[in-house]
């Protein structure tokens, strides 16, 4: 029997009962062609590549990540619960050392789902990686986690959830938001007042090729990871940077994805986007699997692969070099920037957000206030308006001091339901959700 260099766990969940429409690009065929390719390449014959069954998630982990409006049961389907549960399952297999690496090939995706979620946004309702992080913190006491998002679309939901959390380093490598949904992910989006510099964005110009992506990895992402020293690295492994993807404008290849995966060496990869169902996904997924398992991937190439045709311009190369230098300077000056932000916002750091749910065609308006606290990362208050609901969401962070914890509970107890449809308190310290509804 064949043996790979690294033991690798896989979960394959195509979610047959979930699709936005029969012809929508986010449908079950995204994984069916990949499964055929895996069988054809004989990966099931490797003794240390193990296939695990998908599993359902417990609602408490969703509740500790999201505020689902009007309720989890109203917007989260069985398929979404299984996708999130499967990400947790693969994490458990890695943390228990059954396997060295894990790859959850699952759908529906999740990285556009924000802390508050009213439904489908960017094909996402709940955030699989963010829920996994909450699980790892609660059950395995993992302290420092890095999420590297290599989807072509900015991981705005993951960014939102960990915006003020310096124990989670979030780096997103994506097509420039001026040219692609969701229109976010610019270099000045660097985190909340207690986590300045722990959100880093690399908005890349259209037609960036393997060269540009790997330059970012070598010259920014890996140096930052070496300094951050995470206990675990998660790759939000979107594959819509591929040159054949119908929704994007990049020139990344299966070889490029495999090299990126080998260099990044994530503990856990979770499939996000990627909509070139026949021309890209089978080859890219195979390249990622081979790289994670330590198998030679040099022959994993698309039938029409032509590196000369995909080569990026000198203008793009020069821009990416300047971009990496700029973003690295943000990382290096994060303590100074945090001090300035806190001095300029003595009591609360406030931001207004307008969030468009493109799949469903409605908009949410938020006012978010983060308490400037010298003892912890600070209480978070969110006033959200959408679909006739008005929500007060209160978040007591993991590291909450007694003052912020008490203030959060008092606010929840003293706020009248009549002013809101939902008053919700997410106490991450005690791992409990408190709810009042009109």
Catalytic residue (choose from 111, 112, 174, 242): 112
CB of 275 closer than 8 Å to CB of 240: yes
Q: Is 426 left (phi over 0), alpha (psi -120 to 50) or beta?
A: beta
CB of 291 closer than 8 Å to CB of 246: no
**Lookup result for tokens 């090939």:** 105
Angstrom distances, CA of residue 98 to CA of 44, 49, 50, 85: 17, 11, 9, 18
The arrangement of strands across the sheet holding 362-371 comes to: 348-357, 362-371, 380-386, 389-396, 422-427, 432-437
HSE-up of 39 (CA within 13 Å, CB side)? 7
Q: For residue 391, what are its two tokens? A: 């929500």
Taking residue 220's Cβ as centre, other Cβ atoms within 10 Å add up to: 22
Taking residue 313's Cβ as centre, other Cβ atoms within 10 Å add up to: 12
CB pairs under 8 A, 24+ apart, for 166-169? 166/191, 166/194, 166/195, 166/198, 166/377, 167/143, 167/398, 167/399, 168/133, 168/144, 168/198, 169/144, 169/145, 169/198, 169/200, 169/224, 169/225, 169/228, 169/230
d(CA 191, CA 338): 9
Angstrom distances, CA of residue 323 to CA of 187, 190, 253, 263: 9, 14, 22, 20
HSE-up of 395 (CA within 13 Å, CB side)? 27
**Lookup result for tokens 């993991």:** 398
Catalytic residue check, 80: no
**Lookup result for tokens 């969030």:** 355
Buried b vs exposed e over 245-269: b needs ≥16 C-beta within 10 Å? bebbbbbbbbbbbbbbbeebbbbbb
Buried b vs exposed e over 278-298: b needs ≥16 C-beta within 10 Å? ebbbbbbbbbbbbbbbbbebe
Using DSSP's 3-state secondary structure scheme, residue 101 falls into strand
- Residues marked active site are found at 112
């Amino acid at each position: 029997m064949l043996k790979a260099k690294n033991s690798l766990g896989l979960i394959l969940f195509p979610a047959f009962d979930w699709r936005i429409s029969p012809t929508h690009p986010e449908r079950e065929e995204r994984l069916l062609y990949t499964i055929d390719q895996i069988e054809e390449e004989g990966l099931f014959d490797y003794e240390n590549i193990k296939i695990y069954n998908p599993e359902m998630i417990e609602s408490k982990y969703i509740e500790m990540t999201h505020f689902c409006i009007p309720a989890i049961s109203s917007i989260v389907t069985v398929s979404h619960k299984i996708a999130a549960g499967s990400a947790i399952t693969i994490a458990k297999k890695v943390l228990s050392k059954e396997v060295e690496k894990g790859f959850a090939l699952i759908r529906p995706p999740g990285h556009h789902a924000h802390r508050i979620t009213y439904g489908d946004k960017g094909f996402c309702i709940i955030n699989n990686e963010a829920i996994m992080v909450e699980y790892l913190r609660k059950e395995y006491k993992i302290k420092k986690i890095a999420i590297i998002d290599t989807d072509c679309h900015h991981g705005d939901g993951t960014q939102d959830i960990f915006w003020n959390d310096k124990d989670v380093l979030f780096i997103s490598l994506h097509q420039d938001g001026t040219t692609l949904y969701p229109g976010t992910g610019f270099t000045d989006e660097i985190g909340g007042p207690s986590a300045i510099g722990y959100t880093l964005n690399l908005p890349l110009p259209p037609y960036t090729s393997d060269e540009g992506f790997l330059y970012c990895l070598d010259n920014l992402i890996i140096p930052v990871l070496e300094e951050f020293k995470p206990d675990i690295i998660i790759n939000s492994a979107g594959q819509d940077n591929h040159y054949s993807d119908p929704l994007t404008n990049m020139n990344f290849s299966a070889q490029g994805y495999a090299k990126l995966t080998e260099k990044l060496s994530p503990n856990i990869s979770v499939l996000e986007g990627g909509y070139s169902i026949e021309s890209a996904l089978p080859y890219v997924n195979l390249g990622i699997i081979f790289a994670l398992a330590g198998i030679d991937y040099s022959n994993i190439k698309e039938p029409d692969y032509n590196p000369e045709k995909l080569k990026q311009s000198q203008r793009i190369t020069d821009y990416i070099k300047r971009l990496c230098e700029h973003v690295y300077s943000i990382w290096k000056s994060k303590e100074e920037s945090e001090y300035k932000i806190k001095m300029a916002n003595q009591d609360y750091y406030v931001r207004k957000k307008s969030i468009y749910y493109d799949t469903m065609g409605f908009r949410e308006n938020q006012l978010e206030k983060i308490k400037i606290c010298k003892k912890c990362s600070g209480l978070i208050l969110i006033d959200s308006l959408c679909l006739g609901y008005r929500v007060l969401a209160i978040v007591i962070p993991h590291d909450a001091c007694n003052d912020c914890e008490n203030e959060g509970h008092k606010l929840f107890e003293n706020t009248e339901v009549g002013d809101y449809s939902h008053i919700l308190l997410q106490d991450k310290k005690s791992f409990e959700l408190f709810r009042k509804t009109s």
